[in-house]
């Protein structure tokens, strides 16, 4: 084999190795990016939705107790309406969360949760039906304070907590989008460098082998 052919083969081999290294790097970057995206869209959002469903059910349980402690029929009606709204929102969150579970075990957990929810709702409705027959609670200073100033301050705390959670979720979304943009830019730049290195390596090989 002539020296020219040997040099050309050596440069081609080096260029091929550089190409393989670049392709492996691109693939690993893609895997990392996909993992980050899945972690946000499926795991973080799924967790957030299930957590929100749990909070809505806690609100529903609280309105049930408020109904039984009501000192007016108007307040009873309001609490029953709030209960229905909280339950509906919990069901919406669970329905949306179901799409965030990829495994059969995860899907079954959501299905079982819906079954438990359907078993609980008629019992809770019976509580309202029976409670409506009870005498209204006589208003006391402690009860008025609990339903007035204390409730207002608690509402402020709940709003601040919800705002804090929303801020963290928005931060996670922003970081995920930033990572996706960085990945796209890196793929373009790295691909350009790989192609350029491959072409330049082959051209250098041609030039050197041609001068021998």
- For residue 90, what pLDDT is reported? 93
Model confidence at 22, pLDDT cuts 50, 70, 90, reads confident
Model's pTM, two decimal places? 0.69
DSSP state of 41: I
Across 3-7, 37-41, 53-57, 68-72, least confident range: 3-7
DSSP state letters, 65-99: HHHHT-SSHHHHHHHHHHHHHHHHHHHHHHHHHHT
> Is 154 or 211 the better-scoring residue by pLDDT?
154
Please give the average per-residue pLDDT across 149-169, as a whole number. Answer: 78
82-105: pLDDT as tens digits: 999 999 999 999 999 898 888 888
Q: State how far the Cα of 161 lies from the Cα of 167, in Å rounded to an integer.
A: 10
The distance between the two most distant Cα atoms of the chain, rounded to a whole number of Å, is 108
Please give the average per-residue pLDDT across 14-24, as a whole number. Answer: 77
- For residue 41, what pLDDT is reported? 78
Q: State how far the Cα of 79 lies from the Cα of 169, in Å rounded to an integer.
A: 30
Contact between 15 and 206 under an 8 Å Cβ cutoff? The reply is no
Q: What angle do CA 45, 185, 46 make, to 5 degrees?
A: 5
The number of C-alpha atoms within 13 Å of 96 and in the hemisphere containing its C-beta is 17
Q: State how far the Cα of 108 lies from the Cα of 110, in Å rounded to an integer.
A: 5
């Amino acid at each position: 084999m002539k020296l020219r052919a040997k040099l050309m083969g050596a440069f081609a081999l080096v260029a091929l190795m550089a190409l393989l290294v670049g392709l492996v790097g691109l693939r690993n970057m893609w895997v990392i990016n996909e993992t980050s995206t899945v972690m946000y869209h499926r795991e973080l959002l799924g967790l957030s939705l299930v957590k929100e469903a749990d909070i809505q059910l806690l609100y529903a349980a609280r309105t049930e107790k408020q109904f039984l402690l009501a000192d007016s029929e108007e307040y009873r009606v309001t609490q029953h309406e709030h209960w229905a709204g909280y339950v509906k929102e919990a069901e919406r969150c669970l329905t949306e969360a179901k799409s965030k579970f990829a495994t059969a075990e995860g899907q079954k957990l959501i299905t079982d949760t819906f079954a438990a929810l359907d078993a609980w709702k008629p019992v809770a409705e019976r509580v309202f039906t029976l409670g409506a027959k009870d005498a209204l609670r006589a208003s006391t200073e402690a009860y008025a304070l609990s339903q007035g100033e204390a409730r207002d301050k608690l509402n402020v705390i709940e709003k601040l907590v919800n705002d804090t959670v929303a801020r963290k979720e928005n931060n996670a979304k922003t970081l995920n989008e930033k990572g996706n943009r960085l990945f796209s830019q890196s793929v373009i730049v790295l691909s350009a460098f790989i192609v350029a290195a491959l072409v330049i390596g082959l051209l250098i090989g041609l030039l050197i082998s041609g001068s021998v």
